[in-house]
Amino acid sequence: MDAIDDSTPLARELANENRRREKLSGRTLPRPRATRVFTVSNQKGGVGKTTTTVNIAAALAAAGLNVLVIDIDPQGNASTALGVPHHAEVDSIYDVLIDDLPLGQVVAQCPDVSNLLCAPATIHLAGAEIELVSLVAREQRLRRAIDVYARERAEQGEERLDYIFIDCPPSLGLLTVNAFVAAQEVLIPIQCEYYALEGLSQLLKNIEMIQKHLNAELVVSTILLTMYDGRTNLAAQVASEVREHFPKQVLKAVIPRSVRISEAPSYQQTVMTYDPSSSGALSYLEAASEIAERS
């Protein structure tokens, strides 16, 4: 087979990917000093919240860290992508929030990645916003469930969790408020498109309100650029604008538009197991590695 001319765009891209892979190969990710709890949120839909949640979680778990994904989106897409059953008869995060079922009883092992657990969402969550209104300490219920679960794991001699990722619905209802109160960090995926920054200022105002009244420890620690198309000036312009506004929070890693990333959930997998050699999987590995290095 003829050697590919290094001057072609495809060859340059392949060479760049190989360099990035070599940089990551054999690297062990540090364990955080304490469990890091992230809420993955953006009020704008279709920006890659669920995709980001499951793939970063899978990348960290594949590196040997103990990771839990809590799915509080009634659509249950994170549960689907992790291959965890979430039909109406399954005990889910709904039962934890509304009926005080211990979180440990709903957590399920992800079949493809060891060390990766998931608390699934079922369709019952669609009515949870209304049911939560009348409950005592309604904003604190998820946080308390997580604290009790952590104590149970310690009592049973299990390793502590290194990371918890909470996948939110694209709205600021009581489910999202519960996620913000339970977390210490917010991870915001931003799509590299024209309306990227629209709605972000509102999200930041809402987070400020949560910090002021419910959770003073909450910080926006991480912003991830998703659906990046390097062929367009617009994507580069949006990326540059976001980096200018949030120089410390934006990860260097950028998630490209990728058919593999989109296909993976239909096989009930993350892209990390569906096609580990794809550029999408490589980008999420880089993002996960950066998050871990920041701990």
DSSP labels for 20-69? HHHHHTTPPPPPPSS-EEEEE--SSSSSSHHHHHHHHHHHHHHTT--EEE
The pLDDT value recorded for residue 2 is 45
Residues of the chain with pLDDT under 70: 1-7, 9-19, 21-27, 295
For each of the domains in the chain, give its residue range(s) and CATH number, in order of start.
33-293 (3.40.50.300)
pLDDT tens-digit map of 90-127: 999 999 999 999 999 999 999 999 999 999 999 999 99
The pLDDT value recorded for residue 10 is 62
Backbone CA torsion sign across 121, 59, 16, 196? positive
HSE of 213, CA atoms in CB hemisphere, 13 A: 10
What's the CA gap between 264 and 256, in Å, rounded?
15
The pLDDT value recorded for residue 170 is 85
pLDDT tens-digit map of 205-254: 999 999 999 999 999 999 999 988 878 888 888 888 889 989 999 999 99
The pTM (predicted TM-score) of the whole model is 0.91
According to DSSP, the residues that pair with 107 across neighbouring strands are: none
The pLDDT value recorded for residue 238 is 85
